């Protein structure tokens, strides 16, 4: 059966007394004409790519445009000088999200989750929380499976592309996926995962895609940090018993409908918003000319 709605997967979990990850994995095996071992093996490779991306980003990278890179490294140095004000786990999630997305901007290797532009959020949440939750390797793969399953429900009911739905469809979706998976990893119920998904996505509804000079750098990298932290906030609220008054599927449909109403200028075309600020225009001109941004002379 093709599962289209979050409510359906919750029914399936409750009826068969299974986790979201177990239901999504079963479905993948059925539809994908594959077996569990090969799905897990493929997911393991994706996890390794995320770990390697975080490592590279924290060492420090620079994008070809010169517009981004080095912020994750700055954050790491800062956190080593004393405990971050907002708590080390939240900070780690933000820092790893930035690291992976900086690697993406620098043409490094990443795993799209669900897109390249939002590829920092899922690794940020998973790699920051796995030790605190004592997740073994299989539980980490389950985290990614739940993320993937939730992404399918969002993508097929709304959208996952900035060109179609704005940043809410990329960073919003990634954050919602990670929130649902984090609830499950922390021992919450499938219903609670749904609340986390709904809360995380609601918090980012309306987010536009207005990338400076059409590059996946500004504001994308910093949005990844917010997506990761938002996922943890939403997950903790759901674990505390907070519910979303609007059910997950309705929030997803609302995201799709907002995306369709969004003007084209705010959907990855760089014709509006941040992309048309005086500084952004200057950056575009520099790139057209020298192919590189001189940050000192902005």
What does the binding site for other proteins look like in residue numbers (CB under 8 A)? 2, 4, 24, 28, 31-32, 39, 42-43, 45-46, 49, 63-65, 103-117, 119, 122, 144-145, 147-149, 151-152, 155-156, 160-161, 163-164, 177, 213-217, 269-270, 287, 291
Task: Report the 10 Å Cβ neighbour count for 27.
Answer: 18
Q: Which is nearer to other proteins, 214 or 276 (CB)?
A: 214
Nearer to other proteins, 269 or 276 (CB): 269
φ, ψ dihedrals at 247, nearest 5°: -65, 155
Q: How far is the CB of 28 from other proteins (least distance, A)?
A: 5
Give CA–CA dist 233/182, Å, rounded.
10
Q: Based on CB atoms, which residue is closest to other proteins, 45 or 138?
A: 45
Nearest distance from C-beta of residue 122 to other proteins, angstroms: 7
Report how far residue 13's alpha carbon sits from residue 32's, in angstroms, rounded to the nearest whole number: 20
Residue nearer to other proteins on the CB measure, 55 or 64 = 64
d(CA 92, CA 124): 7
Q: In the complex with other proteins, which residue's Cβ is closer, 49 or 94?
A: 49
Provide the minimum distance between the beta carbon of 74 and other proteins in the complex, in angstroms, as a whole number. Answer: 20
What is the smallest separation between the CB atom of 55 and other proteins, expressed in angstroms?
15
| Residue 81: CB minimum distance to other proteins, A | 30
Shortest gap between Cβ of 164 and other proteins (angstroms)?
8
Read off φ and ψ for residue 267, nearest 5 degrees: -125, 75
Q: Which CB, 25 or 258, lies closer to other proteins?
A: 25
Q: Is the C-alpha dihedral spanning 64, 68, 74, 75 positive or negative?
A: negative
* DSSP letter assigned to residue 247: -
| Minimum distance of other proteins from residue 88's CB (angstroms) | 26
Burial of 5 (0-12, 13-18, 19+ CB in 10 A): middle
Looking at beta carbons only, is 107 or 298 nearer to other proteins?
A: 107
Task: Please return the burial class of 135, using the count of CB atoms within 10 Å of its CB with bins 0-12, 13-18 and 19+.
Answer: middle
Distance (Å, rounded) from C-alpha 60 to C-alpha 190? 38
Crossing angle of the two packed helices 20-32 and 137-157, in degrees rounded to 10: 70
């Amino acid at each position: 059966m093709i599962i289209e709605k979050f409510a359906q997967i919750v029914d399936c979990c409750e009826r068969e007394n299974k986790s979201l990850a177990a239901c999504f994995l079963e479905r993948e095996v059925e539809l994908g004409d594959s077996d569990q071992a090969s799905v897990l093996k493929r997911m393991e490779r994706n996890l390794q790519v995320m770990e390697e991306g975080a490592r590279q980003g924290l060492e420090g990278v620079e994008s070809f445009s010169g517009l981004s890179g080095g912020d994750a490294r700055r954050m790491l140095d800062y956190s080593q000088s004393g405990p971050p004000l907002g708590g080390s786990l939240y900070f780690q999630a933000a820092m790893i999200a930035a690291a992976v997305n900086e690697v993406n901007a620098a043409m490094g290797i990443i795993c799209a989750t669900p897109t390249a532009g939002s590829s920092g959020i899922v690794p940020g949440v998973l790699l920051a929380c796995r030790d605190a939750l004592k997740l073994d390797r299989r539980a980490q793969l389950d985290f990614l499976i739940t993320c993937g399953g939730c992404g399918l429900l969002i993508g097929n009911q709304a959208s996952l592309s900035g060109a179609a739905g704005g940043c809410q469809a990329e960073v919003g979706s990634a954050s919602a996926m990670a929130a649902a998976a984090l609830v499950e990893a922390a021992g919450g119920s499938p219903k609670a995962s749904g609340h986390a998904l709904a809360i995380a996505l609601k918090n980012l509804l309306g987010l536009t895609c207005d990338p400076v000079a059409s590059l996946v750098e500004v504001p994308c990298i910093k949005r990844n940090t917010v997506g990761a932290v938002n996922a943890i906030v939403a997950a903790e609220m759901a674990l505390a018993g907070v519910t979303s008054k609007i059910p997950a599927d309705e929030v997803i449909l609302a995201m799709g409908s907002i995306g369709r109403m969004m003007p084209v200028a705010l959907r990855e075309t760089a014709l509006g918003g941040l992309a048309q600020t005086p500084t952004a225009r200057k950056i575009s001109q520099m790139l057209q000319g020298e192919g590189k941004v001189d940050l000192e002379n902005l």
